[in-house]
Structure 1
C-alpha cells in the first residue's frame, strides 16, 4: 500500500482535500507518515477510502495533524 508498483508516493489527504503527508507504511493498526522524525502516525480507523489519487481520511487535515502530533 506504500504507493504503487513504480514506487510513486501515496499522498494522505484530509476529508477537506488538504495534504496531510505521504504514506510510509502500515504498521499494525497505524498508518505511518514518511519523513517524520518523530514517527508520526494515525489510526487506520481514520481512513475513509483509498484510490489512485491517494489515501483519503474521514477527518480534515488540521484535525489529522493534531491527532498525529498527540498520538505520534
Structure 2
C-alpha cells in the first residue's frame, strides 16, 4: 500500500485519508484533519467494520463510535 494522500470528506469536517504503511494484505488508513493536528492530538484506533462504518448498520456500534471520535 502506498503513502499517497486522497481527499476524503466526512460529513462533519474536511479531512484527508492517508494509507499507512502495512504488511501486504493489511490495509491501514489514517484520517487527518485538513486544518492539521493539535500539539497533542487525541488518537483512536478503530477496527474496520464496513457495514457499521459505511452503511450505518444497527447490528453494531462501530459507526456511532467512529462518528463520536
Structure 1 or 2, whichever has the larger Rg, is: 2
Give the TM-score taking structure 2 as reference length.
0.35
Name the structure with the higher strand share. 1
Give the TM-score taking structure 1 as reference length.
0.34
